[in-house]
């Protein structure tokens, strides 16, 4: 990462991941590291303006992949031939009619949370579950709601991998890694004794070290809810 402020640098340098991934924070300006950046398989640019930087990266590595964040529509992916440039973050894609009317991601988050509740209660959907699902959602604090929304937002990746034949245990592990990273980014740490008030959790450990019942929690418990989640999931 380049371009972090002093607070971000200190936080990211100390960030630990349960699967030995790591964040490397560079002190120098990114233009001093163009050879390194251009050699990467994927580059994400998040600070505008970046047209000159984008052009230099593609000049040095025309086969690379560059993702450019922009809240407004841009024609970069049309200007540059092939699939080298991907623009993301545009409000006209986020605020679609479907998202506004149906709140698809928000509803998926509620479904995931309700699925957890059913699993913990060792039961399945019976009849009209909407009222009970809303009660479970209202009972959550803001952090737990955010965690479920993050799961819902990420699920399309899991769905695509599943459709390509990826084993469900691999999908469970990917979900555990995602869950851990959401907690790490929000300043949680591992502790053998869970303490939500102090942001400590006993399950911030490698997937392989989880007991089987905890591994299974990274899947979807109820068939009815899974069908609804699948229906709402769009790429």
Where is the domain boundary, 39, 73, 94? 94
Retrieve residue 138's tokens: 């209202």
Q: Which residue has the higher pLDDT, 20 or 214?
A: 214
The answer to whether 42 and 61 have CB atoms below 8 angstroms apart is no
Residue 24 has pLDDT above 60, yes or no: yes
Cα separation of 149 and 155, whole Å?
Answer: 10
The string of pLDDT tens digits covering residues 116-158 is 999 999 999 988 999 999 999 999 999 999 999 999 989 999 9
Domain boundary among 55, 77, 94: 94
In which domain, by residue range, is 198 found? 97-232
Express each pLDDT in 180-197 by its tens digit.
Answer: 999 998 999 999 999 999
| Cα→Cα distances 182→20, 49, 70, 176, 227, Å | 16, 28, 23, 10, 25
Distance CA 45, CA 64 (A): 13
Overall number of domains in the chain: 2
d(CA 225, CA 132): 13
Helix (H, G, I), strand (E, B) or coil at 66: strand
Considering the domain boundaries, does residue 1 fall inside one? no
At residue 235, the pLDDT reads: 47
Q: What is the pTM for the complete model shown?
A: 0.74
Task: For residue 63, name the pLDDT band (cuts at 50, 70, 90).
Answer: confident
């Amino acid at each position: 990462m380049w371009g972090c402020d002093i607070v971000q640098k200190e936080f990211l340098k100390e960030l630990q991941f349960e699967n030995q991934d790591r964040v490397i924070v560079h002190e120098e300006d990114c233009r001093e590291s163009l050879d390194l950046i251009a050699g990467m398989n994927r580059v994400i640019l998040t600070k505008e303006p970046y047209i000159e930087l984008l052009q230099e990266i593609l000049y040095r590595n025309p086969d690379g992949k560059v993702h450019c964040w922009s809240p407004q529509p841009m024609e970069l992916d049309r200007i540059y031939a092939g699939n080298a440039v991907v623009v993301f973050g545009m409000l006209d894609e986020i605020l679609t009619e479907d998202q506004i009317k149906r709140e698809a991601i928000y509803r998926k988050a509620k479904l995931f949370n309700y699925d957890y509740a059913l699993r913990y209660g060792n039961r399945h959907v019976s009849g009209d579950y909407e009222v009970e699902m809303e009660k479970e959602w209202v009972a959550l604090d803001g952090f737990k709601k955010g965690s479920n929304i993050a799961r819902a937002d990420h699920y399309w990746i899991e769905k695509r991998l599943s459709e390509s034949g990826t084993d469900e245990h691999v999908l469970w592990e990917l979900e555990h890694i995602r869950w851990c990273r959401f907690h790490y980014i929000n300043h949680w740490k591992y502790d053998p004794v869970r303490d939500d008030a102090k942001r400590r959790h006993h399950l911030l450990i490698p997937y392989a070290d989880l007991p089987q019942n905890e591994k299974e929690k990274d899947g979807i418990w109820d068939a009815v809810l899974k069908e609804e989640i699948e229906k709402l999931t769009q790429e």
